[in-house]
């Protein structure tokens, strides 16, 4: 635990958020000899992996790749136990890293940042917290997370409910025992799909309320293969580099052929072989055009639907679980352990909210348009106000007092996903307009942190005070992000990538789809060309 909740009044840099991003940024800026603090709303470090303690919470990137690469000794020493790391194991890893590098002493917990205002005369940011503290700093780094603000349920009545209720991303630390309870889970995104099989093992009755079915693939999770670990550790440096140059931040063989140029039998065999690998990229990366061509995509989508129909005994339930009307991969696909199988149990039922919409939460449970479901416990797996939610929760004001909320009213605009024009010395880690949530995020986090650190170092060496994106560079980049997105099927789907899960949110693809490697090369080029597109003074 940090020793104090008090911030000093002056710092060189304030970092908001103590997840993977904020902690690494602290480590790097401290190496420059700067006075830095991390301000974190939660009661402990870990970010995503502190908050999301729901049963079954697990990463969808394999353990050996979902870890920091900056400490070569650590990556040799640390032993993961499973193919996919569970939330407690990732949190233990984060704690270990924090202890190893003595990071906690500069983390201020239980402290929420409410505003960050830029003063043009002093070229300083003033960061204020909910408990009334105020700190001035040259740099303000938002490491607030892309999936850290829970989306409020859209149905009325939660306050009336007499049972107990939980949001997956604010789960009680002591856990919840659903034994003998009638449970409702609302939401079948990644968190719901991970939690449902485990809750079903305890509950006496489980009703799953599904609005949009998701594509989910099996993890085939289990104890980590020690031979594979030894192999990766013997080549870790090269693998990390490959990941940085890859499309999604994971070193895999990129596809070379269109799904439409192979005959259906071969295609099916290829999908089957990739399904058995138990990972997100297998089926999705089988062919070059799965995310760009509807007909190609449909071949993979239908393969997954075939699997659902094979697994789920009741044909009617199977059909309801089959995603239709949007392309496979354009909503974040899920990885599961026994999700579809869960619906074969007699005490588990599926309520299809497209047929009978959710009306309200009542004192006793959940009412849809056709009936009331009485339950003892309610689990909300209703997702996040992704990518911009945490940034816009803070009253951020740049030059001339311009609120970021105003600048972004039609959608986020930043240069390289790193800095919005008019907001000098403010950086966003994995911000909108960077590969971010469409990548193995640790890779993207490390890239951003290192790039920001190099820039700050450059500023200090040159005795420069301010750096900010030019309007032109920001516009060109934002247009480019949109153009690349428009070459894919993503914008056609209502997803949280598009902001479509939050009523009133501007609808546009927030992450950059040009690939982790090409994006990184662009950032490096910008730096090499005297930070082209940024004004430094």
The site for ligand FAD (CB under 6 A) is made up of 16-22, 39-42, 47-48, 52, 57, 59-61, 66, 112-113, 143-148, 191, 390, 393-394, 429-430, 440-441, 445
Smaller CB separation from ligand FAD, 66 or 161:
66
Q: Which is nearer to ligand FAD, 203 or 394 (CB)?
A: 394
| Choice between 451 and 531, CB closer to ligand FAD | 451
* In the complex, minimum distance from the CB of residue 111 to ligand FAD, in angstroms, rounded to a whole number: 6
> Length of the chain, please?
537
Closer to ligand FAD by CB, 59 or 217: give it. Answer: 59
**Token reading at 211:** 């609005």
In whole angstroms, how close is the CB of 448 to ligand FAD at the nearest point? Answer: 9
> In the bound complex, what is the minimum distance in angstroms from residue 441's beta carbon to ligand FAD?
3
> Looking at beta carbons only, is 99 or 483 nearer to ligand FAD?
99
Residue 296 and residue 266 in contact, taking contact as beta carbons nearer than 8 Å? no
Q: For residue 58, give the DSSP letter.
A: B
Q: For residues 42 and 416, what is the distance between their CA atoms, to the nearest angstrom?
A: 29
CB of 491 to ligand FAD, least distance (A): 22
H/E segment holding residue 272: helix 264-277
Q: Shortest Cβ distance from residue 407 to ligand FAD (Å)?
A: 18
At closest approach, how far in Å is the CB of 97 from ligand FAD? 12
Q: Which is nearer to ligand FAD, 13 or 147 (CB)?
A: 147
Read off φ and ψ for residue 186, nearest 5 degrees.
-105, 120
Q: Which is nearer to ligand FAD, 440 or 493 (CB)?
A: 440
Whole-number minimum distance, CB 238 to ligand FAD, in Å? 21
- Least distance CB 42 / ligand FAD (angstroms): 5
**CA 51 to CA 117: how far, in whole Å?**
28
How far apart (Å, rounded) are the C-alpha atoms in residues 332 and 385?
Answer: 14
The DSSP result for 125-175, as a single string, is EEEEETTS-EEEEEEEEE---SS-SBPPPSSS-GGG--SEEEEGGG--TT-
Determine the straight-line distance between the first and last CA of the chain, rounded to whole angstroms: 39
Listed residue (136, 116, 10) closest to 401, CA to CA: 116
Instruction: Return the number of the residue (278 or 533) whose C-beta is nearest ligand FAD.
Output: 278
The DSSP secondary structure of 348-386, one letter per residue, reads: EEEEETTTS-EEEE-SSEEEESS-EEE-SEEEE---B-T
Q: How far is the CB of 216 from ligand FAD (least distance, A)?
A: 13
The helix or strand, by DSSP H or E, that contains position 427, with its residue range, turns out to be strand 426-428
Q: Which letter does DSSP use for residue 209 in this model?
A: E
- Nearer of residues 1 and 487 to ligand FAD, judged by Cβ: 1
CB 3 within 8 A of CB 25: no
377-380 β-sheet, strand order: 164-167, 377-380, 182-186, 205-210, 348-352
Question: Residue 138: left (phi > 0), alpha (psi -120 to 50), or beta?
Answer: alpha
Give the shortest CB-425-to-ligand FAD separation in angstroms.
Answer: 18
Q: Given the complex with ligand FAD, which of 84 and 373 has the nearer CB atom?
A: 84
């Amino acid at each position: 635990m940090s020793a104090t909740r008090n911030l000093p009044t002056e710092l060189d840099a304030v970092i908001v958020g103590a997840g993977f991003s904020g902690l690494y940024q602290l480590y790097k800026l401290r190496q420059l000899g700067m006075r830095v603090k991390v301000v974190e709303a939660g009661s402990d470090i870990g970010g995503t992996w502190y908050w999301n303690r729901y049963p079954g919470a697990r990463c969808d990137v394999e353990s050996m790749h979902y870890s920091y690469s900056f400490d070569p000794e650590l990556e040799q020493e640390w032993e993961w136990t499973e193919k996919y790391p569970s939330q407690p194991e990732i949190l233990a890893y984060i704690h270990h890293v924090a202890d190893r590098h003595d990071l906690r002493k500069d983390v201020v917990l239980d402290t929420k940042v409410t505003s960050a205002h830029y003063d043009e005369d002093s070229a300083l940011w003033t960061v204020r917290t909910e408990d009334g503290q105020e700190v001035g700093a040259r740099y303000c780094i938002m490491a607030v997370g892309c999936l850290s603000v829970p989306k409020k349920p859209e149905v009325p009545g939660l306050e009336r409910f007499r049972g107990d209720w939980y949001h997956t991303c604010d789960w009680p630390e002591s856990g919840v025992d659903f034994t003998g309870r009638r449970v409702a889970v609302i939401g079948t995104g990644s968190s719901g799909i991970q939690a449902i099989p485990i809750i079903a093992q305890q509950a006496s009755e489980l009703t799953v309320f599904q609005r949009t079915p998701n594509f989910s693939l099996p993890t085939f999770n289990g104890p980590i293969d020690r031979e594979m670990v030894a192999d990766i550790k013997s080549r870790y440096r090269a693998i990390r580099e490959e990941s940085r140059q890859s499309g999604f931040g994971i070193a895999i063989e990129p596809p070379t052929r269109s799904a439409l140029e192979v005959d259906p039998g071969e295609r099916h065999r290829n999908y089957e072989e990739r399904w058995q690998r138990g990972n997100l990229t297998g089926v999705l990366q089988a062919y070059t055009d799965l995310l760009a061509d509807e007909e190609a995509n449909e071949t993979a989508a239908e393969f997954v639907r075939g699997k659902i129909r094979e697994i789920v005994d009741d044909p009617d339930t199977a059909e309801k679980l089959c995603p239709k009307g949007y392309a496979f991969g354009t909503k974040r696909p899920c990885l599961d352990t026994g999700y579809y199988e869960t619906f074969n149990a007699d005490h588990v039922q599926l309520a299809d909210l497209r047929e009978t919409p959710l009306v309200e939460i009542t004192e006793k449970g959940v009412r849809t348009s056709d009936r009331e479901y009485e339950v003892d416990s309610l689990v909300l797996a209703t997702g996040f106000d992704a990518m911009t939610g945490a940034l816009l929760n803070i009253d951020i004001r740049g030059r001339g007092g311009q609120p970021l909320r105003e600048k972004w009213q039609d959608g986020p605009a930043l240069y390289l996903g790193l800095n919005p024009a008019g907001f000098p010395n403010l950086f966003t880690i994995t911000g909108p307009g960077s590969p971010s949530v469409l990548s193995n995020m640790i890779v993207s986090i490390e890239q951003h942190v290192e790039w920001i650190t190099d820039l700050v170092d450059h500023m200090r060496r040159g005795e420069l005070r301010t750096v900010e994106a030019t309007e032109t560079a920001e516009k060109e980049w934002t247009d480019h992000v949109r153009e690349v997105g428009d070459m894919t099927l993503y914008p056609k789907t209502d997803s949280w990538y598009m902001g479509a899960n939050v009523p009133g949110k501007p609808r546009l693809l927030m992450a950059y789809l040009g690939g982790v490697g090409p994006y990184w090369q662009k950032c490096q080029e910008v730096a090499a060309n005297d930070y082209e597109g940024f004004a430094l003074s």
